[in-house]
Structure 1
Amino acid sequence: MAIDFTLTAYQKRLQRIAREFANDILRPLVRAADEDPDPQHAFLATKSAYIESYKLGFATGFIPREYGGGGISNVDLQVVVEELTAVDPGFATILLVNGLALMPLVWFGSEAQKQKWLRPATSDPRGEYLAGWTVSEAAGAPGGTANFDGAAAFPAGISLTATHDAKNGEYILNGRKFWPCNAGGWDLRGADVNVCIVRTSPGAEGSKGLSAIIVPRSATGVRYEQPISKLGHRLSQNNSIIFEDCRIAEENAFAIGDGDLVINKAFTWSAPVAAIASVGVARSAYEYALKWAKTYTGGGDKPIIHHQAVAYTLAEVAMKVEAGRAFAWKAAHYHDMNNANGHAIGPMAKVFCSELLFGAVFQAMKAVGVNALDRANPLERYLREAAVFPLYDAGNIGMQMRKICTVMADPDFDPRAIARSAPTPFDKIARPVKVKQAAKT
């Protein structure tokens, strides 16, 4: 069949392994870690589960096989992520961010850089390897990251500068990052690598002056502050990082002047993953509320599922879960066909599913009633987790919606292209280009 939603035998095996891991190894850690007031302690509580997930290939499975990864497809990744996020999306984010950090090397790095940095990521005998995706910056005036590719020069947009010291063959980094995930590592002395977006040309606009650079754990001149205490996704670590004359070998830099393309493609790749993560949380809220409604009577003589208002409410949640999964799978399939260049459909899926999620969880809470507020039940946690999704992973109104609208605005955009999985590539300034032009580059 040209269109088939049936999982292959391999995908069913992935699903079973991911589900068993999530329920047997991850789930017992979640409640205590989520309730720990110290965000670093919460993150550290996941370490044993992370090591097991690394052994199963979940931490680097998206890396191509030629560099030691699993080489799994984007659709395969969907199957795994839904099972993990149904138990805890914060933990799954730790794994996702490894991809955000390392996949840019796959797309933009030299062969020497791939061999040097990807192989250690996929062959850590400890099973502890972490990569940080170090892009976001602190709010301010100017400040933040949403307008990273805007026309303004430093200090707007990306303000972490990397001054080239050609004499010594180094870049000197100065500035601050805020919100990067995994960046502090297990001991707040740094992840194994941090892939940083830096401003290498302070006088140039964001679409011309940005680059990517690999900061190894051994680098000096970097200070990792205590992680941010967050409303949701409490098992993942988000850092504040200070760079003070941090010297990095120039051979660690890549995509010089094309850091904007790195950001765009990385967050395009992660968008379907965030979409299916939303589905995972919505699924758990729905299943909990459905089980509740089939056993709880509300003081009546029969379970509340037999009351039309409750049944209709849960039916709507079920429809949202199924619609979200189909959209996420479609976006992942598109990425498999188009080298993760779904700059419209990826963000569409992420925005649609993440905006759908909050309402779905709240509907499930209404079906359960006041008992949904009891923290002994999981629905309040699902609501906190749901609040994260529209705000993280490039933010729905920060970057993702803008990419969708940019594709649509191009005079040559075919509104039926996505339906037939036809390419909709971007050019240098994050505007779509004609397919015939993209084929020449």
Structure 2
Amino acid sequence: MPSLFIPPMPPLAPDDVSGLGVLFRLKRNGFGAFPARCFHQPVVPLRALGKTLVLAPGSEAIKAVLTTQSGSFQRLRMGRRVLSPIVGEGILVSEGDVWRRQRRAMAPAFTPRVVPTLARHIAVCAGDALPAIPTGTSVDVFGLTQTLALDIAAVTMFSMTSATFGGILRRMVTSFMMGIGQPRPTDFLLPPSVPTLVDWRRARFRRRWVALIEAIIAERPVLENGEEARDLFDLLVRAFGVNGMTPGQAVVDEVATMIVAGHETTATALFWAIWLLGRVPRWQEAVAEEVGHVDLSPEGAAAALTALPVTTAVVREALRLFPPAFMTGREAVEDVALCGQIVRRGAMLLLPFWMLHRNPGLWRDPDAFDPGRFLDGPEPDRFAFLPFGAGPHVCIGAQLAMTEAVLVLARLVQLYQFAVVDDEPVLPVGVLSTRPSRAVRFRFTPRG
């Protein structure tokens, strides 16, 4: 049996790391913020300047926090502080009745019955972009996946192209993710009423960002009275309304949320799947054999999904090793018992999904790239594999993300052989999503 490829990882925090040490490390990279004992202890309580910080990497702990005892927890206020500049009061940060109203408004756009339409849109975008990849030169693959994911988001959510706004939008998202969107210890430790210099910079970003989103919305064809809703934007407008000719703030916030969540997470998932196939040719060829005679045209894309088990397994393995949402957080709203430990009201909890996905008690060869684990044997336990979260706040766009990643990857392999140009290590950098540590260039060769 060939040896398994083990992707390089940043070093873990020392086992005696303090809670404050974890918070400082989170600013740099969430994949290096946690100690190794999190692989063996379901709950790790720490202190950070007098506040309780609980690391909850265990399957049972995550299940309790997100589902069976979810009423004892709320989203971290830190999340609102960091994310509100880019998503406003959108579904990623809201709670209670506001969140329930937003979820109901968006749900019709993400039901299984819309998959054929989404698959057709995805296939059209992939069919336009992928054949244009230059051969005979090196290509920045993360830039490629970002551009394509944004094109798909524009078509599926707004029935328009990203030609006029794609460049500035990608630059602003990257600037935010790798700059003021990185969580600081003060974001966790200071109350929202105490502003910081970073908060001022975030407010300045917010003004420019909202202006861009409003400009994008203004480009879109207006839906006439009596017309059927064409896409997610129409559903949002009908759910939240508009103020004269200006979209309401709720619409602006949800549009921003869907752009960021819809294109950033899929772009990163696709990058890691392509990078892994570039490093492990035998799995790339296994996908090539599967997709060789599959109809991935706009007409055949939806039906093709069931004919792509190997491609799907590759995507799932990429999501296991490098989940775009590598971590989530909660705050205890009451004293609660969690895996034998008492968690006091006000305690902050961090749930590192990436450590759950690499737990040696749950996975064989947990650090290795092995899509076969999703082809042979039983499905993993429900709370061993959570690339889209779980419970009431599970990712509403999970099915769209999987459909997009599988169809794009299948079409790419159908068209090209590809390999990484150099052997320099590439590490996952977990800030708000799981980005590569550097620009990685590939060489593409058409399949004959």
The TM-score with structure 2 as length reference comes to 0.30
Give the TM-score normalised by structure 1. Answer: 0.30
| Higher RCO, Cα 8 Å, sep 6+ | 2
